[in-house]
Amino acid sequence: MKKINMDDITLAYSTDSVNWTELAEVYRLAPLGTYDRERLQHAYEKSQVCCFVYHGTQLIAAGRALSDGEYFAFICDIVVLPEFQRQGIGTRIMNAMFERLSAEKVLLACVIGQEDFYRKLGFLRHKSVMALYPNAEWYKENGLLE
């Protein structure tokens, strides 16, 4: 883990100057899977709220959310490089996105093992959320879908 001073990080909200290859690598290393840089760029550019975290010029974390502007918002991604995790960066991203989201209800799907992080932010487990996935069997085998 690289210990950082929070004064040394910068949050940005525009997709204009993002290095999408670098962001795809953050996802891979996190590890949240392999993402195609062009599809990742398209997903972020279509999201209502984006947050990118830089340590100097290095992109170390990001998050994005979708919202209807009234009733519902969905946190799609929160990703932090492993060496920068557990230092409050994810919380900074979430708080920055909360400030920019206009919705009564905020939903998210999280990585198993990260539930406590989201509970600390006030999230509660939802008992009736349903999902469609293109590779549902993998999600079932890994305990994410019933």
Report domain extents, the chain. 6-108
- Strand ordering across the sheet containing 58-67: 9-12, 49-55, 58-67, 72-80, 105-108
Give the model's pLDDT for residue 146. 85
What is the pLDDT, as a whole number, of residue 93?
Answer: 98
pLDDT at residue number 145 = 85
Q: Which residues share a beta bridge with 73?
A: 67, 106
CATH of domain 6-108: 3.40.630.30
pTM of the model: 0.91
The continuous run of DSSP H or E covering 73 comes out as strand 72-80
Give residue 86's identity as a one-letter amino acid code. Answer: R
| pLDDT for position 100 | 95
pLDDT score, position 3: 83
Phi and psi at residue 95, in whole multiples of 5°?
A: -65, -40
* pLDDT for the residue 113: 86
- What is the per-residue pLDDT for 110? 87
Could you tell me the two tokens for 64? 């994005």
pLDDT given for residue 2 in this prediction = 79
pLDDT at 59: 98
CB neighbours of residue 118 within 10 Å: 17
Which regions of the chain are under pLDDT 70? none
